[in-house]
Each structure stands twice: as structure tokens, then as C-alpha cells.
Structure 1
């Protein structure tokens, strides 16, 4: 089953964006539009179990990387050579895709994630609890949903981020209804797999790699650098001041500038 994608910009796409946990491709639309102003067309993916893409029965980084690779070949042909940008969970998918399908990847950008166990993913446990706690059968408005989430989720920005996945629909019998547009059951039950990093058996990706860290984020640590450099020998680490884990939301202008410079150089 094909993954849902959105094209931003004109011409043959040369940039691909992969979002993080509980996200969707459109989270990168603002930065993609900035790139389009500089003649770069982008494809934004909804990864499996997120957004408008299909749900699966298991969580498997390798399978997700293969699925994105198949979709790139389908849409862009066997000669596809893109700059692959992945954030958090999507960054792990991007790293694996570059390692497993290097012929598709001209260059790689990994945003605020490392090729290691991401223990910080456990902070998503209360978010999952809050989303599961919504009584969708009796919910009357998105505002009510936000009010209920606020009991467990203090940050308004995080609440809005989660609520992008709440879809209003009409159910049989002409009754209003709500549903999550993400596979909350699978993702919530498999956070350890989301946090994990698979064994890649000594593989390496030889192409240019930009590794972007949020200065206020704990996801990239000094002890991650040796493995990152073994897997991606051409890696260059940059740190975005004032940004936390969601670098693209916290510092879009700074991140866009780094991406444009990297695209120009590669």
C-alpha cells in the first residue's frame, strides 16, 4: 500500500522529509516552502501508522526504510538521488534508508536523533495516556479535546501537535464522530521499539551527512559521536541555538539556512 505524500515546489523533487513520532509530513511544510523559494522541490511523507498512510501490525524501522525506498523508486524512478531529511523517529528511518539503499540518497540530514537507544522516548508515555484518555464517543469539539488533554499535557504547543491527529468525521446515522489518524494502539504499546536502534552489521553510508542538534535537546550526546562517525564518515554536526527537540518548529529560519547551505554544497 502506497504511503501518503505531499509535493511542495515545482519540478523534479530533490528533497524528502520524514517526520517524527506522532507527526506527519505537513509538519515540514513551512521549511519545504522556504526551500521551494530557492528552486528545491520536496516530498513530505506520512510514515506508516501516521497521518494518511496505512497502519501496520508491527513497528519495524527496517521495514519502514524499505517502504520509503520503494515509494521513492515508484515516484522518481530507479535513478532517484535525493537529499533525505529525517527528524527523530524519521531520522532513524532516514539513517537506515541511507545505509540500506545508498543509491537513492545523494546526501543525508539527521535532525536531533542519534543511532542509539533514545531513552527520551519514554517521555511520550504520558502523552499516550492523555490521548487514550479522550472519550471520543462523547467528544463534542476540538476545544473540549484540548481542555481534556490539558489535564496531563501542560504545554499548549504539544497539545496542538497531538491534536493535529484528531480527525472529525461523520459516522453512519449522520452523527458527528472523532477518530485518531494515527495508530495509537500500536505506537503506544511499542515505545521501546520506537526508542531502539537496530543492528546494522557494520554498514556505512559514504555520502555527505549533516547532523543537526537542538542546543536545548538531550537527544544527541557526546557519546553518540563515535558510532555516528563510523556509520556516516562524512558527518558534520551543527547545533541550533535556542532549539529543543522539535528543531524545525523552534528555529525554522536557522534550520532552513543550514539546509540551504548544505544543499548548495552537495
Structure 2
């Protein structure tokens, strides 16, 4: 079985971090350095079809949870603290309900165990333009992406996927064709009968609508020991928009 790519920082109790859709582990590098300084061995993992991890035709939360299990087995992690943001949050939820004995504490960032409608159409269309283009500069990629994605902050996040395929030619690290083909998988809910009774923290952005007040009933149904807390002055990318408060809330929970 193919193994997920990761960057490992620090020594101590294992803390595995899973990024969101179209992201990569390196998005969390600044926070990871802080956790490492506080005595954790931080694993910044790229999920399948993202970052430097392997490309595969299969894409689902069941498969991504199995990837995480294989990763922990390979690195000798009997148990670990898990943080997952957005898509990564769905992955760690799936992992926890299927392998509760392998989880120390579970942190889910700005995602609920419910179904979400597909809402990445413009982003995927913009990335498709980059995929088909002959890109020789990041400014050219930004200009092209802006035709579909006007938000500069979102473009900056997406353009972190660029890398030099060869001299003078940029490419995208993610497996865009498979991600676009399987986009409906990203919004799928946790199974109705799924439960995890270990210590769990859900963090939601104060300006995000990914976790609504009514969702807390569903969260408690699946995760009866869950705490739900808010990160102020932050939207969906709460760990990047208010890293200090996000970090402190996570550290207090751990």
C-alpha cells in the first residue's frame, strides 16, 4: 500500500494534523513548530491526491481513514492526537469511529459530521484553467485563476499547490482530475450509526457557517463527549485567520 507523505517536527506525544480540501500539510507549518516546541511530535500529513502524497483513482473518507491507519502503523504510532480541518476533519472523524483505540484526543476544525452541498465549482474551474495552461510564472497563474476566483486570499491558498515540474514550467501538485471527478465525496456525512466516545473538541470560526448552532445536536449524537468552542475573528480557515486563539484552545484541550 502507498504511504502518505509527511513532515515530522519535534519529539514527544504524537500529534497528527490533516489539512482540508486542496490544501497540504505545509499549510500548518507555523502552528506545527509551536506545537513541537511545546513537547509534541507533529506529523504534517498530505492526504491522498494532495501535496506530495500519492495519486490514486479512489477518493473517499473510508479510503483516507485507511491511509491514516497505514501511516500510523508504518511510523509506530500506537495512539495519537488528531487534528483535522474541513475535509481533514471528516477524515479524522471517520478514523476515530472506526479505530477509537488509536486516538488519544480528537480535534475537528470547522466542519460538522453532516452532509454539505458541493460548492467548489468556481475554484475547480479556475484550477482547471491552470491545469491546461503552460505556466511559466506565478503571476501568470494568479492572473488566470483570478478570472474564476476573485478572492485574493483564496487564490494565495490555492497557488501554494504550484511547483516547478521542469525549468520554466509550473504544475499543480494535487491530482485535479480525480478530485474534480469525485467532488461529491467531499461533502458526504458521517454514517448515521457512527459513534466515538473519546474526548473530542470541535472548533468553529465565529464568521464561518460550516458549524451552525443546530449542528451541535448532531455532533453530540455522534460524539457524546464533544466540546464545541468558537474561535473569534475567524472564518473557515480559523487556524490561519486567528492562529493564536486557535493554538491556545487546542493546547488547553490537549
| Distance of 2:28 and 2:13 partners within structure 1 | 15
- 1:50 equivalent to 2:81? Answer no
Q: Which residue of 1 aligns with 2:4?
A: 3
Q: Which residue of 2 aligns with 1:103?
A: 101
Query: Counterparts in 2 of 1:124-143, with a 5 A limit?
Result: 124-134=120-130, 136-143=132-139
Query: Counterparts in 2 of 1:220-239, with a 5 A limit?
Result: 220-239=211-230
The count of corresponding residues between Structure 1 and Structure 2 is 253
Secondary structure, counterpart of 1:169 in structure 2: strand
Secondary structure, counterpart of 2:82 in structure 1: strand
Shift of 1:199: 2.1
Shift of 1:135: 6.3
Contact persistence 2:131–2:172 (CA under 8 A): no
1:176-208 Cα distance to aligned partner (Å, 9 max, x none): 3222110111112222211112425x2321111
Shift of 1:136: 5.0
Q: Which residue of 1 aligns with 2:162?
A: 166
Choose from 214, 232, 253 the match for 2:244: 253
How has the CA–CA distance of structure 1 residues 210 and 138 changed in structure 2, closer, same or farther, with 3 Å as cutoff? same
Q: Which residue of 2 aligns with 1:209?
A: 200
1:139-162 Cα distance to aligned partner (Å, 9 max, x none): 221111111111221121111111
Shift of 1:93: 0.2
**Could you state the TM-score of these two structures normalised by the residue count of structure 2?**
0.95
Q: Which residue of 1 aligns with 2:171?
A: 179
Q: Which residues of structure 1 form unaligned runs of 5+? A: none
- 1:189 equivalent to 2:181? Answer yes
1:80-131 Cα distance to aligned partner (Å, 9 max, x none): 2211000000000000100001111011000000001122x41x11011011
Q: Which residues of structure 2 form unaligned runs of 5+? A: none
How has the CA–CA distance of structure 1 residues 137 and 215 changed in structure 2, closer, same or farther, with 3 Å as cutoff? closer
- 1:21 equivalent to 2:21? Answer yes
Contact persistence 1:108–1:209 (CA under 8 A): yes
Aligned-residue CA RMSD in angstroms? 1.5
Contact persistence 1:8–1:29 (CA under 8 A): no
Runs (4 or more) in structure 1 with deviation over 4 Å come to none
**Could you state the TM-score of these two structures normalised by the residue count of structure 1?**
0.91
Contact persistence 2:205–2:233 (CA under 8 A): yes
